[in-house]
Amino acid sequence: MERRVVITGIGVITPVGNNVPEFWKNLTEGHCGIDLIQGLDMGQLPIKVAGQVKNFNPEEYDIDRGSVRKNDLYSQYALAAAHQAMTDCGLVSGENIAPERLGVYVGSGIGGMHTFVKETTTLLEEGAHRISPLFVPMMIANIASGNIAIKYNAEGPCLPVVTACATGTHSAGEAFRAIKHGYADAIITGGAEAAVHPLAIGGFCNSKALTKAEDPKEASIPFDKRRSGFVIAEGAGILVFEEYEHAKARGAKIYAEVCGYGNNCDAYHYTAPRPGGTVAAKALKMALDEAGFTADDILYINAHGTSTPLNDKTETEAIKLALGEELARKAKISSTKSMTGHMLGATGGVELIAAALALKNGIVPPTIGLTEPDEECDLDYTPNKAVKCDLTVAISNTLGFGGHNSCVALRKAE
């Protein structure tokens, strides 16, 4: 028997806030978390801005100094967001959920970038015998899931996902399916990333993916004709998905119901989306069909909206194909990357949280910086100011290098 799945806990570490109230306030007020790059030697790279996490103190999230030394920054972000989500939901393994029924699906697109560079430098300067014995467990992209499982005694399914920028959304979608089909009663899910580093920035820059804009407020401008590339960012977004009857029985608060998931691949190019958005449209439609979406629903789409020329145009085409022209024009759409930048493997988790909060609070966060709309991006992208709207369905749409398309659909909690 298929079971219902709901969101009962959320936590964030982002460029616009390191807790949910601050994050949501800044999103709805249109504050930009993108700024000039701090604390990094960028050499001759022409990239000036990034979405960096500010004032992060691990101890505020029950991460002691020993754990800080043993965890790459991306894993610290994941643990911090998981701490918020688990505190929020009130689940305690062995008390109100069996350990074997609690799982963890938390991924990272890149993993321990800072650790990788640090230990490579040690290899080149001091030799292999000086490499840290913690190098591999700190670097690998699955370790955030492992560390979260250890901390919360989660003995159920533990499945980190790595699908580039679609990581957080795929993690959530697979968690939804696992609970829906009875493999767990609750799963801690989402994504984390800490790749704001000259190595990653150099790679993205030289592939012409990053904007060279110098004004932070005009750097990430999805769907604007002036857009010139994405802004790299960092952070984590973690949610607790729980089986509805389990949540109801313990009186848990519910943010939204998870009710649809689309997952497919463009199978076209390792970085560029398939022209026309035909396959991405199928992932969107897959999620909406499973959610029982109809013309009577009021839909919000948290778009992938990276501010790259190809993505925004192709995503617009995909939305029109999935919904049909009439419903596409009625949909409320925005890209919160205009405020956070692109958090790579973390972005799906963070944006699913934004979609859930939009649904719960009846507010569509804006796409800031959108002052010169591209004629090929001609839908309602909520320019510059949040809009109040009694939404019934919300989706988070995410696309990743390799052609990975992922979409999770939510319904307003009854």
**Residues catalogued as catalytic:** 165, 304, 342
Q: What's the Rg (C-alpha) of the chain?
A: 20
| Sign, CA torsion 128/132/133/136 | negative
- Cα separation, 93 vs 75, in Å, equals 21
Conformation bin of residue 161: beta by default, left when phi > 0, alpha when psi is -120 to 50: beta
- Cα separation, 408 vs 283, in Å, equals 9
**Token couple for 357:** 């909060």
Supply φ then ψ for residue 310, to 5 degrees: -70, -45
- Cα separation, 135 vs 119, in Å, equals 7
Q: Is-contact 193 344, C-beta < 8 A?
A: yes
Which of 170, 156, 147, 175 has its CA nearest to residue 79? Answer: 147
Provide the residue type at 286 as one letter: M
- Cα separation, 68 vs 38, in Å, equals 21
- DSSP element (H, E) containing 283: helix 278-290
CA atoms within 13 A on the CB side of 400: 27
